[in-house]
Each structure stands twice: as structure tokens, then as C-alpha cells.
């Protein structure tokens, strides 16, 4: 039995005990014989009416859409319990039946109203609980669907850098370059993060930043001279937690589409700012104004991020904005923060 079920059982027991206690003095004060027996029998009829309606008629008929049959049976239960109670009390208590009332008819009216009240309470409480349970079930289904969609979106992340890095790793291996072991270790760390972090609901921002640094190091490895790539991080001391692999696709997008290798004035600028309430991640890169061929993954990364933001944070709390010119592309991501209990030292060093 769950805690909620125990609470419900205790609440029902307390309510019926209170009703029995309130009902008993009525008979004692009116000098009706065998007051405990009569009060107990009256309570049994109320229990039959309440739980017969709540446990049998409403689940079996009302909630299954058979409303006409329900109302017929509910009316029969109410009328039958009222008539049988009055008949049995008349047979058992005889002249004492209407004690406290001016006539048997008034006592019969009292019993009818009491049974009607109990039936109404049974009906509205049971239907309300059924509606709440249905709403919780529907919300649980929606939550499960969103979680499944979120996991699917995470699995769609296309790490373009891996293909370039593997090509570079092959060239380094052929040349027996001393950097080869370090490249393998860093690439393995990135792969491990990309695979396992997406199974977690949230990761520390410091983890994501560290993977961005690894990614930029591998990117620089492709060129003999350092490329104009900078990473500025401010406010990392709080080390909040965010969706895994949420910043990485924006960095990959810069590295993939930037023209820093061919443009003397080209650049890639990454800026991460954190406050107590919000994370802001801005990326900006130059690009070749000449139209470039587009692969199947074109635009998937940004759309993926927007869908994940909508599912995780809601459309009003987080967002991704982009600004394009023929020679530049900029993106700005902002989202609310969940603080982490393990702070890290603040970092604001450029990555070259």
C-alpha cells in the first residue's frame, strides 16, 4: 500500500468515525431504544451507498461512457437503500422509528436527504479523483513522449569534427608524429562525453566547456599556424547544470562553416557568460560569401537545439537567435540555470 493510499484510508476512516460520533447523540438525546445498533445499521447503509457508487457504478459505468445505465443504476441504488433502510427500521424499532420527528413522513424525508447527500459526495469526489488521475496519466504519457523525443534529438547530433579529426589522426599516424597519442586521448575523451553525457538529464557547464576546449585543440591541429579562434568564459564559478551537448553543436557549426583557414581577416569568437539566473552563449564567425554546397545535415544542428530547448525549458524560458550577413554568422543562446553544488574556479582564458 502506497503512502497516498494509506492517507486516503485514514481520511475515510476519520470521516466515517466523525459521522458516527455526530449521528449517535441524535438518537441518545431522543431516547430511542438500542441507539448503538440503530446508529451502526444506519451507517452501514451509508457505506453501502457511498462505496457501491464510488467503487462499482462510477468505474464500471460512468467512466466507461455508459452514462444512461449509470444514472439508472445510481437512482436504483439510492432509492433501494433508502426504502430498505426505512422498511427494516420500521420492522425493528416500530413505534420508536419517528422519535424526534413530528411524523414518520418527516423521518423518511430526513433519511432520503441524508442518502442523497452521501451519494452526491460520493459522486463528485470519485469523478473528481478520476479526472485528476486521467490528467496525471496523460501528463505522464506526454512527459515520456517528450523524454523519448529528447533522447532521439540528442542522438541526432552530428559531430562533424570527428571526421576531420580522424583524417588528421590518420595523417599523423602515417607520419609517426609525436602528437598522435595525445590526439587519440583527446578524441577518446570527446567521444566518451558525446556518447555518455547524452544519457544524463543535466551536466555541469564546466564539463561542456572542457569538451569545447578539447574540440578547439583538435581543430587547431589541422593547421600549421594557430587560427584566430577565441573562447571567453565568465561566471563559471557557480558551475550550473544544463542540457548535455547543448553548446557543442554551436561550436561545431562555427568550425565547419568558418573561413579562418583562407581569410586573413577571418575569426571565430566564442563567448560564454553566466549570471545567477541565466546562461548566455554567443558564437560569431566569418564565412565565405560564395555559395557553398550544402550536405544533408545543413541546418539540422540549429533546429535540433531549438527543439531541445522547447522540450526541456519551454518556449518562454530559453531561446536561440541567429544573425547572418553575407560574410558573418552569429548565434546567441540563452537559458535559465540550475545551480550545481560543486563550484569550479572561474575561467576566462582564450583557446588557441
Alpha-carbon span 53 to 51, nearest angstrom: 5
Q: Residue 48 — pLDDT band, cuts 50, 70, 90?
A: confident
The H or E element that residue 13 is part of is helix 3-29
Under CATH, which architecture does the 156-336 domain have? 2-Layer Sandwich (3.30)
* pLDDT for the residue numbered 304: 79
Strand locations in the chain (E): 203-204, 229-234, 241-242, 268-274, 278-286, 319-324, 328-336
In tens, the pLDDT along 104-126 reads 777 788 888 888 888 888 898 88
Give the pLDDT confidence score for residue 344 in this predicted structure: 40
DSSP state of 333: E
pTM flag (> 0.75)? no
Give tens-digit pLDDT for 282-337: 999 999 888 765 554 455 578 878 888 887 777 667 889 999 999 999 999 998 88
Q: Distance between CA 63 and CA 82 in Å, rounded?
A: 25
Helix, strand or coil for residue 344?
coil
User: pLDDT higher for 321 or 177?
Assistant: 321
| Share of the chain residues as helix, strand and coil, in percent rounded to the nearest 5 | 60, 10, 25
> What residues does CATH 3.30.565.10 cover in the chain?
156-336
Rounded mean pLDDT of 261-270?
Answer: 94
More confident residue, 35 or 279: 279
Q: What is the pLDDT of residue 231?
A: 96
Report CA-CA distances (Å) from 69 to 49, 60, 137, 216: 17, 10, 26, 71
For residue 196, the model assigns a pLDDT of: 78
33 pLDDT more than 70: no
What angle do helix axes 248-257 and 160-175 make, rounded to 10 degrees?
Answer: 60
Amino acid at each position: 500500500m502506497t503512502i497516498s493510499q494509506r492517507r486516503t484510508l485514514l481520511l475515510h476512516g476519520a470521516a466515517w468515525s466523525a459521522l458516527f460520533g455526530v449521528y449517535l447523540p441524535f438518537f441518545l438525546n431522543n431516547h430511542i431504544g438500542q441507539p448503538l445498533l440503530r446508529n451502526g445499521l444506519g451507517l452501514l447503509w451509508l457505506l453501502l451507498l457511498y462505496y457501491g457508487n464510488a467503487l462499482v457504478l462510477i468505474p464500471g459505468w460512468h467512466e466507461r461512457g455508459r452514462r444512461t445505465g449509470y444514472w439508472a443504476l445510481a437512482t436504483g441504488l439510492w432509492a433501494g437503500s433508502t426504502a430498505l433502510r426505512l422498511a427494516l427500521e420500521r420492522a425493528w424499532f416500530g413505534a420508536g422509528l419517528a422519535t424526534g420527528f413530528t411524523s414518520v413522513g418527516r423521518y423518511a424525508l430526513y433519511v432520503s436527504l441524508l442518502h442523497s447527500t452521501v451519494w452526491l459526495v460520493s459522486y463528485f469526489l470519485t469523478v473528481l479523483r478520476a479526472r485528476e488521475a486521467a490528467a496525471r496519466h496523460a501528463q505522464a504519457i506526454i512527459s515520456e513522449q517528450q523524454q523519448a523525443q529528447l533522447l532521439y534529438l540528442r542522438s541526432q547530433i552530428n559531430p562533424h569534427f570527428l571526421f576531420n579529426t580522424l583524417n588528421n589522426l590518420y595523417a599523423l599516424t602515417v607520419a609517426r608524429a609525436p602528437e598522435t597519442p595525445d590526439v587519440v586521448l583527446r578524441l577518446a575523451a570527446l567521444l566518451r562525453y558525446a556518447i555518455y553525457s547524452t544519457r544524463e538529464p543535466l551536466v555541469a557547464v564546466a564539463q561542456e566547456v572542457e569538451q569545447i576546449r578539447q574540440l578547439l585543440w583538435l581543430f587547431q591541429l589541422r593547421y600549421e599556424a594557430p587560427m584566430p579562434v577565441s573562447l571567453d568564459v565568465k561566471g563559471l564559478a557557480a558551475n550550473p547544470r544544463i542540457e548535455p551537448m547543448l553548446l557543442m553543436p554551436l561550436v561545431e557549426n562555427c568550425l565547419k562553416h568558418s573561413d579562418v583557414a583562407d581569410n586573413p581577416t577571418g575569426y571565430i569568437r566564442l563567448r560564454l557568460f553566466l549570471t545567477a539566473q541565466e546562461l548566455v552563449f554567443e558564437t560569431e564567425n566569418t564565412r565565405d560569401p560564395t555559395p557553398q554546397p550544402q550536405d544533408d545535415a545543413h541546418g539540422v544542428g540549429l533546429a535540433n537545439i531549438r527543439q531541445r530547448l522547447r522540450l526541456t525549458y519551454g518556449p518562454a524560458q530559453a531561446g536561440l537567435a541567429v544573425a547572418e550577413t553575407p560574410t558573418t554568422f552569429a548565434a546567441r543562446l540563452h537559458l535559465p540555470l540550475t545551480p550545481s553544488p560543486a563550484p569550479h574556479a572561474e575561467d576566462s582564458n582564450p583557446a588557441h
